[in-house]
Amino acid sequence: MARHDGRRPPQLRPLKIRRKFTKVAPGSVLIAAGDTQVLCTASVDPQVPPWMAGKGKGWVTAEYNMLPGSTSPRKRRDRDGKVDGRTTEIQRLIGRSLRAVIDLECLGEKTVTIDCDVLQADGGTRTLSITGAFLALVDALHAVSALPAPHANPIRDSVAAVSCGIVDGTPLLDLDYREDFAAAVDMNVVMTGKGRYVEIQGTGEESTFDQQELDALLGLARSGISQLTKAQRESLGKRWPC
C-alpha cells in the first residue's frame, strides 16, 4: 500500500527532537513527528501532594493540553479548571507511562510535573507526548541534587509510545490525522526501552480485528518504539540513564 505521504507501512514519520527548548523549566523538549509538534516541560516541586506526605515516596504527574491554534477549526481553551474527558484520559496515560519507569522511593518526597502542550496536531499527539515527556523528565531529574540516595538513579528504564492502525486492510505505523480518521482499527502502544508493555489501547472503529492483525500491529509498534528509543538515547547522549 502506498501511503499518501510516500512512507512505507512500517515507517515512522520524520522525528525531530530539540532539548533545552526553554530556559526556565529544568527539562524542556520540543519534539515533532511529521507535522505534529509538542512542547514537553518538566518542573520539580520539593514536596508531594498532601495524600502522599510522610510516605517517603515521590510523585510524577502530567498535564496535557492542545493549544487553540494547534487544530483547525480553533480549539477553545479550557477555562476555570474545566478539562474535557479526552484531555483527562491523555494526561493520566502520560503520568502512568512515566511512573512505570521511575523508582518513586528513590526520587524522595518530590513532585515532578510534566506539561505537554500540543503546538500543532496531525495525529499521534498522546504518543508523541509520552516520548518527549521522558526526555524532559530525564533532564529535570539531572538537575535535582537532593535525592535520598544520591548515587542511585530513580529512572529504571526508558519509555516511548507510538500509534498504529489498519487502513484499507493494511497495518500501518505512526498514523497521521488523515490515516487515523480513515482507520478501521486504531491502536496506541506504550513500551519501555527493554521491550516491556506499559499500556495497549486498541479499538475497532466500526470494525473488528483478529489475532493475526493484532500481532501485526504489535509487531509494528515494537519496531517503531525500538527506533524511538534509539532516537531518545542519541538525543540524551551521556545523560542516557538506562
In a domain, 7, yes or no: no
- Contact by Cβ (8 Å): 114, 134: no
DSSP letters spanning 99-128:
HTTB-HHHH-S-EEEEEEEEEE-SS-HHHH
What are residue 109's phi and psi, to 5 degrees? -80, 75
Q: Is the previous residue joined to 14 through a cis bond, with omega within 30 degrees of 0?
A: no
Q: Which domain holds residue 209?
A: 15-236
Report the CATH number that the domain containing residue 168 is assigned in CATH: 3.30.230.70
pLDDT tens-digit profile of 173-196? 999 999 999 999 999 999 999 999
pLDDT tens-digit profile of 52-86? 888 889 999 999 999 888 988 898 887 766 778 88
In a domain, 213, yes or no: yes
- Contact by Cβ (8 Å): 57, 111: no
In a domain, 153, yes or no: yes
The overall longest dimension of the chain from CA atoms, in Å, is: 57
pLDDT tens-digit profile of 80-133? 667 788 899 999 999 999 999 999 999 889 999 999 999 999 999 999 999 999
In whole angstroms, give the CA distance from residue 9 to residue 205. Answer: 19
In a domain, 105, yes or no: yes
Cα 64 to chain centroid distance, Å, stands at: 10
**3-state DSSP of 25-40:** CCEEEEEEECCEEEEE
Q: Which three cell numbers stand for residue 86?
A: 479526552
Number of domains in the chain: 1
Q: Which DSSP state fits 169?
A: T
- Contact by Cβ (8 Å): 175, 183: yes
In a domain, 5, yes or no: no
In a domain, 65, yes or no: yes
In a domain, 9, yes or no: no
The structure's pTM equals 0.95
Residue 172 pLDDT level (bands cut at 50, 70, 90):
very high
